[in-house]
Amino acid sequence: KAGVTQTPRYLIKTRGQQVTLSCSPISGHRSVSWYQQTPGQGLQFLFEYFSETQRNKGNFPGRFSGRQFSNSRSEMNVSTLELGDSALYLCASSSAGGSSGANVLTFGAGSRLTVL
Amino acid sequence: QKEVEQDPGPLSVPEGAIVSLNCTYSNSAFQYFMWYRQYSRKGPELLMYTYSSGNKEDGRFTAQVDKSSKYISLFIRDSQPSDSATYLCAMSGVDSGNTPLVFGKGTRLSVIA
């Protein structure tokens, strides 16, 4: 069973540019979550999509956006990049569809973004 | 105060030692408690999770939850160099579909052969 696949694995951008990151969840998983990981702040929740709808959103500016397609694949976009956006962006999928039970996340290896 | 506090370490122990990793939290609504392990250049992987209070054992790993103290622990017995990684605690409410996992910052562990 293939795991969570994130592309690209590494990328370098300059301030002001935008970036799109892609995530393919585990087959059958309908929930996709995105996290930002930095040494100073750890893992911070960006947003979660379930069946193409954003179900939860973290405390990030509107420059961070995402979407989910009908095949559960997800993308996140960061516009007008800032130096502080340099981080590891992690995508995780889950089979949890209901409102109860443990929301066990399976993570991808991440996309490491460097903003110069 | 952050919802979940975790000592970042680094923690260095000799092979065979018992390791204790801990997190404290402030949100009394948390009911699911998880431990993830993250190797360098990899994403976090789930080690184990518990619901509410109590202990759970899986091989060399034991997770403990003390809800009265809002304190959770992960013990690693007979630690091995392959256990060297960053360990992240994570928590969510019982309505996990509507409350995302909240993570600690992680504790970096090195097990020296």
pLDDT (tens digit, 9 = 90+) per residue, B16-42?
Answer: 999 999 999 999 989 999 999 999 999
Of A42, A100, A109, the CB nearest to B43: A109
Q: What is the pLDDT of residue A12?
A: 98
Q: Do A105 and B46 lie within an 8 Å CB cutoff?
A: yes
Would you place residue A102 in the very low, low, confident or very high pLDDT band (cuts 50, 70, 90)? Answer: confident
B107 to chain A: closest CA residue: A42
Asked, as a colleague might, if the bond just before B10 is cis with ω within 30 of 0, I would say yes
For chain A, report the end-to-end CA distance as a whole number of angstroms: 37
Residue of B54 and A101 predicted with greater confidence: B54
The candidate with the shortest Cα–Cα distance to B62, out of B72, B109, B15, B23, is B72
Q: What is the pLDDT of residue B96?
A: 57
Of B42, B98, B101, the CB nearest to A109: B42
Distance from CA of A69 to the nearest CA of B (A): 19
SS (H, E, C) B51-67: ECCEEEEECCEEEEEEC
Residue of B92 and A36 predicted with greater confidence: A36
A88/B19 Cα distance (integer angstroms): 27
Residues of chain B above pLDDT 70, percent: 96
Task: Count Cβ atoms below 10 Å from residue A23 Cβ, excluding itself.
Answer: 27
Q: Quick one: average pLDDT of A75-102?
A: 88
Would you place residue B15 in the very low, low, confident or very high pLDDT band (cuts 50, 70, 90)? Answer: very high
Q: What is the pLDDT of residue B35?
A: 97
Q: Quick one: average pLDDT of A78-83?
A: 97
Amino acid identity for residue B102 in this structure: V
Convert A39-65 to b/e letters by CB count within 10 Å (16 or more is b).
eeebbbbbbbbbeeeebbeeebeeebb
Q: Do A42 and B51 lie within an 8 Å CB cutoff?
A: no
**Residues of A whose CB is below 8 A from B88:** 42-43
**What's the mean per-residue pLDDT of chain B?**
92
What 3-state DSSP class applies to A18? coil
Q: Which residues, numbered 36 to 55 in chain A, qualify as contacts with chain B under a Cβ-Cβ cut-off of 8 Å?
A: 41-43, 45, 48, 50, 55
Count of A–B CB contacts within 8 Å? 73
Distance from CA of A114 to the nearest CA of B (A): 15
What is the phi/psi pair of residue A79, to 5°?
-100, 160
Residues of chain A above pLDDT 70, percent: 94
What 3-state DSSP class applies to B79? coil
Q: What is the pLDDT of residue A1?
A: 67
Would you place residue B4 in the very low, low, confident or very high pLDDT band (cuts 50, 70, 90)? Answer: very high
Q: Which residues, numbered 76 to 115 in chain A, qualify as contacts with chain B under a Cβ-Cβ cut-off of 8 Å?
A: 90, 92, 96-110
The alpha-carbon radius of gyration of chain B (Å, integer) is: 14
Residue B37: C-alpha distances to residues A61, B85, B108 (Å): 29, 6, 10
Q: What is the pLDDT of residue B97?
A: 60
Residue A95: C-alpha distances to residues A28, A45, A115, B55, B92 (Å): 7, 18, 33, 25, 16
**Residues of B whose CB is below 8 A from A104:** 34, 46, 49
